[in-house]
Chain A
Amino acid sequence: MFNVQWVDIVSFFGWFIAVYMVIVIVFYSVILIISTIQLRKEYQLDRIQAYEDYMEEFNTRPVSIIVPAFNEEAGIIQSVRSLLSVNYPTYEIIVVNDGSTDQTLKKLIEHYDMKEISRVVRKQVHTKPIKTIYQSSILSNLFLVDKENGGKADALNVGLNFSHYPYFCSLDGDSVLEPDAFLKVMKPIIDSNEEVIASGGSVRIANGCEIKNGHILKIGLSDNPIVVMQIIEYLRAFLMGRIGLSRHNLLLIISGAFGVFSKHWSIEAGGYKTDTVGEDMELVVRIHRLLKERGVNKKIVYVPDPVCWTEVPEDTTILRRQRRRWHRGLFESLWTHRGLTFNPKYGSIGMISFPYFWIVEFLGPIIEFLGYIFMILCLFLGGVYIEFAILLFLLSCLYGSLFSMTAVLLEEWSLTKYPKVSDILKLFLYSLTETIWYRPMTVFWRCEGVWQMLKGDKSWGEMKRKGVSK
Chain B
Amino acid sequence: MINQELLFLTIITLSLLSLLFLLLLYLMSRKFFDIKKRRKIEEYKNKIYPKVLSIIAEGDLVRGLGFEKKAIKQKAMEELLSKYVKVLEGEEEKKRLSELAAICLQDYYQKRLKSKRWSHRMNALYHIEDFQMTKLQGDVVLLTRKKKISHQESIHILRILASFQFDGLKDLLQNQYHYLSEYDYRSILTRLDQGLFDQFVLSFHKSPTPLKYAILDVIAVKRLIKYRVFAENVFSAYKDEVKLRALKALAEIGCVKDIEPFLELMNSSKWQERMVAAKLIGSIKEEKGIPRLIELLHDPSWWVRSQAGQSINQFPNGKTILQRVLETSKDAYARDMAWDWLHKGV
CA distance A108 to B209 in the complex (A): 48
**Alpha-carbon distance A120/B117, docked complex (angstroms):** 55
Q: A118-B336, A406-B23 are in contact. Are A45 and B122 (CB under 8 A)?
A: yes
**In the complex the two chains form, is A408's CB within 8 Å of B27's CB?**
yes
The 8 Å CB contact of B182, one of A53, A193, A409, A428, is A193
Question: Is the CB of A264 closer than 8 A to any CB of chain B?
Answer: no
Q: Which of B12-20, B63-71, B290-298, B317-325 contacts A (4 or more CB under 8 A)?
A: B12-20
Q: Mark A38-73, 1 if CB is under 8 A from B, else 0.
A: 000111111001100100001100000000000000
B2 within 8 Å of A (CB atoms): yes
The binding surface of chain B is classed by DSSP as: helix
Q: How far is the CB of A142 from chain B (nearest CB, A)?
A: 13
**Residues A120 and B332 in contact, CB atoms below 8 Å apart:** yes
In the complex, what's the smallest C-beta–C-beta distance from A450 to chain B, in angstroms?
31
- Asked whether A416 is an interface residue with its Cβ less than 8 Å from the other chain, the reply is yes
B30 at the interface (CB under 8 A from A): yes
Which chain A positions have C-beta within 8 A of B122? 45-46, 50
Inter-chain contact A428/B24, CB cutoff 8 Å: yes
A425 within 8 Å of B by Cβ? yes
Q: Is A388 an interface residue (CB 8 A)?
A: yes
Q: Is the CB of A120 within 8 A of B13?
A: no
Q: Is B229 an interface residue (CB 8 A)?
A: no
A226 in contact (CB, < 8 A): no
Q: Does A463 contact B (CB under 8 A)?
A: no
A46 and B31 contacting across the interface, CB-CB below 8 Å = no
The residue from A42, A46, A137, A391 contacting B13, defined by CB atoms under 8 A apart: A391
Question: Which residue of the partner chain A has the closest CB to B26?
Answer: A409
The answer to whether the Cβ of B268 comes within 8 Å of any Cβ in the partner chain is no
* Residue A36 CB within 8 A of the other chain: no
Distance A45 CA – B125 CA, assembled complex (angstroms)? 11
Q: From A99-107, A321-329, A397-405, A437-445, give the one contacting chain B.
A: A397-405
Q: Which residues of A contact B217 (CB under 8 A)?
A: 58
Interchain CB contact under 8 A, A398 and B13: yes
Distance of A451 from chain B, by nearest CB (Å): 34
**Closest partner residue, chain A, to B27 (CB atom):** A424
Chain B, 115-142, contact with A by CB distance < 8 Å: what is the 0/1 string? 0011110110011001000000000000
By the criterion CB–CB under 8 Å, are A398 and B183 in contact?
A: no
Answer yes or no: B267 CB below 8 A from chain A CBs. Answer: no
The reply to whether the CB of A392 lies closer than 8 angstroms to some CB of chain B is: yes
A380 at the interface (CB under 8 A from B): no
**Bound Cα distance from A405 to B343, whole angstroms:** 55
Interface residues of A in 392-439 (CB under 8 A from B): 392, 394-395, 398-399, 401-402, 405-406, 408-409, 412, 416, 419-421, 424-425, 428
Q: Which of B3-11, B170-178, B253-261 contacts A (4 or more CB under 8 A)?
A: B3-11
Q: Does A2 contact B (CB under 8 A)?
A: no
Q: Flag whether B333 is at the interface (Cβ < 8 A).
A: yes
Q: What distance in Å separates the Cβ of A145 from its nearest Cβ neighbour in chain B?
A: 14
Q: A135-B343, A428-B24 are in contact. Are A388 and B32 (CB under 8 A)?
A: no
Query: In the complex where A59-B183, A428-B24 touch, is A388 in contact with B119 (Cβ < 8 A)?
Result: no
Pick the contact of A41: B6, B118, B186 (CB < 8 A). B118
Given A118-B336, A193-B181, A424-B28, is A43 in contact with B117 using a C-beta cutoff of 8 Å?
A: yes
With a 10 A CB-CB cut-off, give which of A59, A385, A406 has the most chain B CB atoms. Answer: A59
**Chain B proximity of A235: nearest CB distance (Å):** 13
- Asked whether A424 lies within 8 Å of B9 as measured between CB atoms, the reply is no
B35: Cβ under 8 A from any A Cβ: yes
Judge if B339 is at the interface, Cβ distance under 8 Å. Answer: yes
Question: Among the listed A49, A388, A399, A421, which residue makes an inter-chain contact with B2, where contact means beta carbons less than 8 Å apart?
Answer: A388
A5 close to chain B: CB less than 8 A: no
* B346 interfacial contact with A, CB 8 Å: yes
B302 contacts A164, C-beta separation under 8 Å:
yes
Q: Which B residues have a C-beta under 8 Å from some C-beta of A?
A: 2, 5-6, 9-10, 12-13, 16-17, 19-20, 23-24, 26-28, 30-32, 34-35, 117-120, 122-123, 126-127, 130, 181-183, 186-187, 217, 221, 302, 306, 332-333, 335-336, 339-340, 343-346
Chain A interface (Cβ within 8 Å of chain B)?
41-46, 49-50, 53, 58-59, 117-120, 122, 135, 137, 140, 164, 190-191, 193, 385, 387-388, 391-392, 394-395, 398-399, 401-402, 405-406, 408-409, 412, 416, 419-421, 424-425, 428
23 A-B Cβ contacts within 8 A?
Answer: A44-B123, A45-B119, A45-B122, A49-B130, A50-B126, A59-B187, A120-B333, A120-B336, A137-B343, A137-B346, A140-B343, A385-B6, A392-B9, A394-B13, A395-B13, A395-B16, A399-B16, A401-B20, A405-B27, A412-B27, A419-B35, A424-B27, A425-B28
